[in-house]
Structure 1
Amino acid sequence: MKKIDRRDVLKGLAAGAGATVAMPALGGRALAQSAGKVVVGTWGGDYARLLTKNIEDPLLKPKGLEVVQDQAGDAPRRAKMVAERRLPRGTVDIQGFSAANMFEMNEAGATEQLDYSKIPNAKNLLPTMKYPYGIGHIYSGNVVIYNPKLISPAPTGFKDWLDPKWGNKIGFIDIQYQAIMIAASMAATNGASMNDIEKAKEILLAVKKAGARVYPTNEAFAQAMKNEEVGISAIWKARVVQWQNAGIPCEAVSPVEGIPAYVSGFVIAKNAPNKDNAYAYMNAMLAKEPQEAFAVDMGYNGTVSGLSVAPDLQKRIGFTPEEEKRIKDLDYAFLAKNDAGMKEWWDKVFKG
């Protein structure tokens, strides 16, 4: 199992602030058969829109590649991938998942073991973002988000977020159930464990009783923050930057209990019908221009070296040296084993 080493990650980010290195935008074997079709499984909303804006329209469609997005939450897309794994040909070529879910799909035997010779731009990929079964596309860390007008004093971590005193000003994002339960475990154990699910459940049920609200998507939660319907939650720091840029009143706090790392990446289905085009898609997402664009448009850190990121932006999307020490890797094996149970409890008990 591949872990995220924060020193390597931050080394790569630091490199991004320096001189730009030459990287091929597209090329090599990855584009040898790029004409045709590729079906991309992804979340909807902003991420899907920015994949189109920064990767598909400028780099792939001019090469004759027809991109079709299969938009859905990660749980149904994972279920479909597992259900189709024994078919000669699946229906989706490349899937976007968190690092934890990429690990899970590999354990399920549904992913292609990557041939990195077909991804020329992967030569610049940070070592910690290079998995045998997938690549990291962007990364950030989970932080507390709050509106200073509604929440005072400022929170210091997950325990302050999950304090029943905030009542219906506490917000949850449905599709982030896994990250929420990790944060609740850290709150319950003062950062000692990300895997104490039973203690996490106790804390979450207490805030549910106090009136906490659940929103179906990141976008729905953002609207609630904008309207001051809710005032505190937890989300990737990249999202805080994006919402600040959109004029939503919010600030970020790196939790004292630790900062869970978040990596969003892509895997290729073992039975992908357009495998060469899936490799072409991976190669394009690692090109310099889209990597820098995602930092600007979405506030995520890139996963390749040699990026040119403005110092003021790097300060907003990155972490201080003291915060770097609190970045924590996720236990992908634990999450793969327990995700189904976590999701069932979330849907039937917490939301029920």
Structure 2
Amino acid sequence: MSKLILNRRRFMGTAAATTGLLASPVYLRRAHAQGGEVNIWTYTNFIPDDFREQFQDETGIKVNVRLVDDQGKQFNLLAAEAPNPTVDILTVAGHRFLQFIDSELLAPLDTDRLTNWGTINPIYSESDWSTINGSKWGAPILSGMEVLAYNTEMVDKSETTSWEPFFSDKYAGQTAYVLQDMMSIVMLMKGYDGNMVEYLNDPEEAARIVAEARDFLIEKKPLARKYYDGGSEVQQMFINQDITMACAWNGPIAALMAEGFPVGMTIPKEGSYGFVYTYNIANNAPNMDNAYTFLNAVLASPEVGAAMTRASGFISTFKGADEYLSEAERAATSFPEEELAGMRFFRSEANELKYGLVDPAVEAIKAA
């Protein structure tokens, strides 16, 4: 096997398979040429080069990109520039919205100005995390999620529709997971809100639920091969056949799939948790009209969503984007609608309550 590139933003698929995907800029011709510029803070490969070039050609708007690599750094930079930022569009993860909103760094998104808003799968655009104080605050573009990953040569796909086999004696010593991540999933399995938002006004109930999840994982501790910490570690365990199943972020598993390793991933019927990257408009953005023109162009076609997935390795939030991916790319970066319906997204409203309970519980499990 060739050396793995252990970066969840790795190039998915081959350039040869995608050359010319955005060769025809027809979908941009509805954007009126207006000139000027738009300033964007985003991650590496989140704006496909072909799309950027075509957008500039068709609209006359120069796209200035500043790469970011950390949500906290981006927040600090924007806060330092407030109330007159140099940026128009930035890239915020949905579960970090509150920090930016409470500091008045984001402008509410006027979806009436986005005629292509319907391109986004409502699983992402209409989920509970996406509306705060009655407003939308970002356009979902890419998603990452915790999945049940499995060796396709050792585990029958029928045993991956639920989290139950994962905790069965049949796979004793063959599973691995990040403890803190699994705490949220176990709460979800048991019918509770793993984000703890429902229990903000009932800390006793929150404590009881966390204790129930803790006790479950202590009981199941002998079945686990390892509690791991990072994506490269779980990849290596699959490669060495130390494990047959894992709870993992989709990125490292997609990288294995792209390398041809016999591994698959699914979202079990009880559900799982994930996050969404969004394009957001800065409060007092200096080029507000151009920012909306850019967002509307991004949302104009599922082809753009496919190009963003191919470039970044994350899952597109656009309806129909998978139709523009190869079979291998679809397997690594898309899920059936019925599985996506079970997704829950991380929220931040109850983080202080949640991690005040979960962090000690994790330590108790490790010590048990």
Tell whether the 8 Å contact from 2:234 to 2:246 is kept in structure 1 after alignment: no
Per-residue CA deviation, residues 250-270 of structure 1 (Å, 9 max, x unaligned), is 122431323557543222232
Amino acid aligned to 1:145 = A
Query: Pick from 233, 237, 240: which aligns with 2:246?
Result: 233
**CA separation of 1:286 and 1:159: change in aligned 2, threshold 3 A:** same
Tell whether the 8 Å contact from 2:35 to 2:61 is kept in structure 1 after alignment: no
1:147 aligns with 2:164: no
Tell whether the 8 Å contact from 1:259 to 1:327 is kept in structure 2 after alignment: no
Equivalence map 1:133-282=2 (5 Å): 133-139=137-143, 142-148=146-152, 154-161=159-166, 166-167=172-173, 169-172=175-178, 180-187=182-189, 189=190, 191=191, 193-194=193-194, 195=196, 196-203=209-216, 212-216=226-230, 218=231, 221-222=234-235, 225-228=238-241, 231-235=244-248, 240-241=253-254, 243-260=256-273, 263-272=276-285, 275=288, 278-282=291-295
- Residue aligned with 1:49, SS: coil
Q: How far does residue 305 in structure 1 lie from its aligned partner after superposition?
A: 6.3
Structure number with greater Rg is: 2
Q: How far does residue 286 in structure 1 lie from its aligned partner after superposition?
A: 1.9
How many Å separate the matches in 2 of 1:77 and 1:161?
Answer: 37
Query: Pick from 326, 335, 351: which aligns with 1:318?
Result: 335
Q: Hey, what does 1:114 align to over in structure 2?
A: 109
Amino acid aligned to 2:344 = L
How many Å separate the matches in 2 of 1:284 and 1:180?
Answer: 38
1:293 aligns with 2:307: yes
**CA separation of 1:327 and 1:305: change in aligned 2, threshold 3 A:** closer
How many Å separate the matches in 1 of 2:321 and 2:173?
Answer: 45
Q: How far does residue 219 in structure 1 lie from its aligned partner after superposition?
A: 5.8
Per-residue CA deviation, residues 262-307 of structure 1 (Å, 9 max, x unaligned), is 5432222325566555445533432423213245564734425698
Q: How far does residue 86 in structure 1 lie from its aligned partner after superposition?
A: 8.8
Per-residue CA deviation, residues 103-140 of structure 1 (Å, 9 max, x unaligned), is 66446644211234654543644556266211121457
- Residue aligned with 2:40, SS: strand
- Residue aligned with 1:199, SS: helix
**CA separation of 1:311 and 1:152: change in aligned 2, threshold 3 A:** closer
Tell whether the 8 Å contact from 2:27 to 2:297 is kept in structure 1 after alignment: no
**CA separation of 1:273 and 1:222: change in aligned 2, threshold 3 A:** farther
Amino acid aligned to 2:318 = T
Tell whether the 8 Å contact from 2:120 to 2:317 is kept in structure 1 after alignment: no
How many Å separate the matches in 1 of 2:357 and 2:49?
Answer: 37
How many Å separate the matches in 1 of 2:319 and 2:156?
Answer: 39
How many Å separate the matches in 1 of 2:26 and 2:219?
Answer: 51
How many Å separate the matches in 2 of 1:33 and 1:220?
Answer: 48
Q: Hey, what does 1:39 align to over in structure 2?
A: 41
The aligned length equals 309
How many Å separate the matches in 2 of 1:234 and 1:143?
Answer: 6
**Unaligned 5+ runs, structure 2:** 1-24, 131-135, 197-208
Tell whether the 8 Å contact from 2:176 to 2:234 is kept in structure 1 after alignment: no
How many Å separate the matches in 1 of 2:120 and 2:246?
Answer: 32
Q: How far does residue 65 in structure 1 lie from its aligned partner after superposition?
A: 1.9
Query: Share of identical aligned residues, percent?
Result: 16
How many Å separate the matches in 2 of 1:59 and 1:200?
Answer: 49
Q: How far does residue 185 in structure 1 lie from its aligned partner after superposition?
A: 1.1
**CA separation of 1:105 and 1:256: change in aligned 2, threshold 3 A:** same
**CA separation of 1:259 and 1:343: change in aligned 2, threshold 3 A:** closer
How many Å separate the matches in 2 of 1:156 and 1:299?
Answer: 22
**CA separation of 1:295 and 1:88: change in aligned 2, threshold 3 A:** closer
Query: Pick from 341, 344, 351: which aligns with 1:339?
Result: 351
Q: Hey, what does 1:303 align to over in structure 2?
A: 318
1:28 aligns with 2:31: yes
How many Å separate the matches in 1 of 2:174 and 2:287?
Answer: 47
1:328 aligns with 2:342: yes
Tell me the TM-score normalized by structure 2.
Answer: 0.61
Amino acid aligned to 1:292 = A
**CA separation of 1:156 and 1:310: change in aligned 2, threshold 3 A:** closer
Tell whether the 8 Å contact from 1:23 to 1:287 is kept in structure 2 after alignment: no
